[in-house]
A and B are shown apart, each in its own frame.
Chain A
């Protein structure tokens, strides 16, 4: 009894002293104007909850590294850009490219190399008009080696005229294949016909930049919400380079009548558990769940499932540091690819809405003119089938003249990655007698280095596309691709991919059939890689949030059409 009283006393002292201490720091907090602003916002939302204040409260798992469209290189940056800026095209709710800054469809030359865009009457948030020159400046800035843009050269080289030459120092910036005929007319010259060019125009790197404003800000451009101007549905505010931020409706946006949200408050919360608590308390309207929470909330009515366009696969290295590996044998590769139960992987191990991948080009990613998914053009390959796997395995072992094989599986070192790799190991060793899988779990940076030097047997890797075309996946494993690094080479595949760039560029159906054929060679004939799963995303979202659009590449979300109803 006495003990209990004592403990209570102690806890009382603890609590009291904390309040005392907290009072001491009051002064320091008073001058943070950002905090007070936030308090006000919250106050108004609560008071007018019935009238459906159009305010959305979101969580982001990382801070904004950069919203300078030439410099941005990550998901958070591109997502913000997609909502505060606008390119010639924008992805609509169904993720189809629709004219945005472009005034209607462009004029395309016979050979598919020259695009002439009319620029819509639109304004930057400071009132200056958006002109063709804003695009010329932005694109030149993105390929300029001085800028240090990662995505500019990556996306434009081999596509926009003279981009490669500028990178090599053989051409001037002014030679880049983009010119402003007048304020409202923009001409883009390509080196090859690019069937996905219009959808690519919705990507952040191609957004316009107002030269006068950007140069006047110098190094400070886009380092805070005050050193930027916006031409998209929202403008950034309350962002000083780090921490959370806020979107407010951009009243200068040409299509502002469509935008219903007046503000979006974003806080950075890295712990899913904290995010879920904030969501449960009603402070936040949406939280993306990590794997352990995904399992826990699987049956919750507020769970939403979204299929991402990242596909994961085993890379089979055929020659490790100059020596042929057992994976040089096609039967061994096929055996490994077919020997694990992909459905069990996605349902029991990942449990986050991912789906088994019997393909390389993901589902719900690319559509033809009639809205038909690329997956309907192609087939499925390397499905889970223990019997066939074991047949290939025996054939492979016989060819190698051995009955035991040891393989190293290289993968990530996150909790999730480790769980998957453990599962792969037990599944493969159980179904393929004589196989020993050694796990090597390393941080991402180390994995990249080992990939670069080709120092692995099997690597668990993945790819997320940067533009909406099957080629963003199909090109990965051609002989000279920087992503190959597994000593795989098939001239037939190379020729097929090459043909889609030139001869077939203007025949969409034949082009996609060529991709389907290439996928068959890559997976069914060669089993050069063994697809594992296409990643899903599970989130909790309040039922009163409507019209949130998700996209397969570039910015993940559009808030342009989002609204609050029934809160």
Chain B
């Protein structure tokens, strides 16, 4: 297991290096200038400002300098927010996105699992159809439509929750629900399919024949096996949610990181583009690593296979 994890960590750093390099190159190919007033300045005046930020140096020089700083954990300072450290910016904005994402994942997964189990255990009943409908709605209606709908019903019509802005935890309720629809749908679909498959397998029949009670069969045997594919898909979904959603954040006027990322690309804010990309990559890669380790815990067969190598 240790050997396996070490190997994975080495690969992780290799991937990060490649991601950083590719992002750097793509970013330098972006048209435009990080200066908001670029259109007004003469070429000479622009050059002076670029000189100050080291943007006149040859690209390889900029690349080496950037990677050097990156290794030391220095993302540099933002171009759009002058004198603001990129790491400070990320930490500050991520807070909001992470709270929303964590709530959405937590609630979404639990509800999804419950719905999926109900559907599988009560297959082809009204319960099954009901939970399938919820799952289909969750997956097919975009989260921003949900967001706008929730905002209208709860904030404008009934006025029981805030319309938007970050004003304590009540502000997080509506955006979290909007974001949770995805995980609910995904979890419900996967759990249902897997549970049905597992429930019809031989060892469940055996357990039933041995007289194990319904509860034990459902949770100890069927559910645990049904979790594996869910863990696989939930990893990236979690990474996506925790790192923020552009549209939902905009609708609820929450100053999260998702919106920041898109803005940094539009305004050629090189250091923020790099910083957020690197941050997202680390996050995703670590989550995938955790998922892989989780497999081993859920399913000993995977652990064995990994250990054999």
Chain A residues within 8 Å of B, Cβ to Cβ: 2-3, 6-7, 10, 13-14, 17-26, 28-29, 35-36, 38-39, 63-66, 68, 71, 73-74, 145-151, 153-154, 157, 167, 219-223, 240-244, 267-271, 273-275, 277-278, 280-281, 283, 443-446, 448-449, 466, 482
Surface stretch bound by A, among B162-170, B195-203, B206-214, B299-307: B162-170
Interface residues on B, range: 35 or more
* B142 interfacial contact with A, CB 8 Å: no
* B26 interfacial contact with A, CB 8 Å: no
CA distance A19 to B131 in the complex (A): 21
B80: contacting residue among A3, A23, A65, CB under 8 A? A65
B38, A17: Cβ atoms under 8 Å?
no
CA distance A13 to B118 in the complex (A): 14
B52, A21: Cβ atoms under 8 Å?
no
* B84 interfacial contact with A, CB 8 Å: yes
B170, A22: Cβ atoms under 8 Å?
yes
Q: How many A-B residue pairs have CB under 8 A?
A: 196
CA distance A17 to B127 in the complex (A): 19
CA distance A74 to B38 in the complex (A): 11
Residues of chain A within 8 A (CB-CB) of B266 are: 443
Q: Pick the most buried of B41, B95, B99, B253: most chain A CB atoms within 10 A of its CB.
A: B253
* B279 interfacial contact with A, CB 8 Å: no
A150, B37: Cβ atoms under 8 Å?
yes
Residues of chain A within 8 A (CB-CB) of B81 are: 63-66, 241-242
B45: contacting residue among A167, A243, A267, A278, CB under 8 A? A167
The smallest C-beta distance from B162 to any residue of chain A, in angstroms, reads 8
Report the 3 A-B pairs with minimum CB-CB distance, sorted nearest first: A445-B32, A148-B52, A66-B82
* B250 interfacial contact with A, CB 8 Å: yes
CA distance A485 to B37 in the complex (A): 17
B268, A445: Cβ atoms under 8 Å?
yes
A66, B255: Cβ atoms under 8 Å?
no
Residues of chain B within 8 A (CB-CB) of A445 are: 30-33, 268
The smallest C-beta distance from B202 to any residue of chain A, in angstroms, reads 33
The smallest C-beta distance from A39 to any residue of chain B, in angstroms, reads 7
Surface stretch bound by A, among B3-11, B100-108, B234-242, B282-290: B100-108
B 248-275 to A, binary, CB cutoff 8 A, 1 in contact else 0: 0011110100010000001010000000
The smallest C-beta distance from A19 to any residue of chain B, in angstroms, reads 7
A74: contacting residue among B37, B84, B169, CB under 8 A? B37
Main secondary structure of the interface of B (DSSP, over half): helix
B43, A146: Cβ atoms under 8 Å?
no
B82, A150: Cβ atoms under 8 Å?
no
CB contacts under 8 Å to A, within B144-192, are 148, 151, 155-156, 159, 163-170, 172-173, 176-177, 180
* B111 interfacial contact with A, CB 8 Å: yes
B 67-95 to A, binary, CB cutoff 8 A, 1 in contact else 0: 00000000001001111100011001101
CA distance A537 to B99 in the complex (A): 36
B169, A29: Cβ atoms under 8 Å?
yes
* B51 interfacial contact with A, CB 8 Å: yes
B111: contacting residue among A2, A14, A448, CB under 8 A? A14
CA distance A24 to B106 in the complex (A): 10
Residues of chain B within 8 A (CB-CB) of A270 are: 250, 253, 259
Residues of chain A within 8 A (CB-CB) of B255 are: 63, 242-244, 268
A19, B173: Cβ atoms under 8 Å?
yes
Using CB atoms, name the residue of chain B closest to A6: B130
A10, B92: Cβ atoms under 8 Å?
no
Known: A269-B164, A445-B33, A448-B39. A71 touches B159 (CB 8 A): no
Residues of chain A within 8 A (CB-CB) of B36 are: 65, 73-74, 150
CA distance A150 to B111 in the complex (A): 53
Using CB atoms, name the residue of chain A closest to B181: A14
* B27 interfacial contact with A, CB 8 Å: no
Known: A167-B48, A220-B83, A242-B92. A154 touches B41 (CB 8 A): yes
A38, B31: Cβ atoms under 8 Å?
no
B84: contacting residue among A223, A275, A283, CB under 8 A? A223
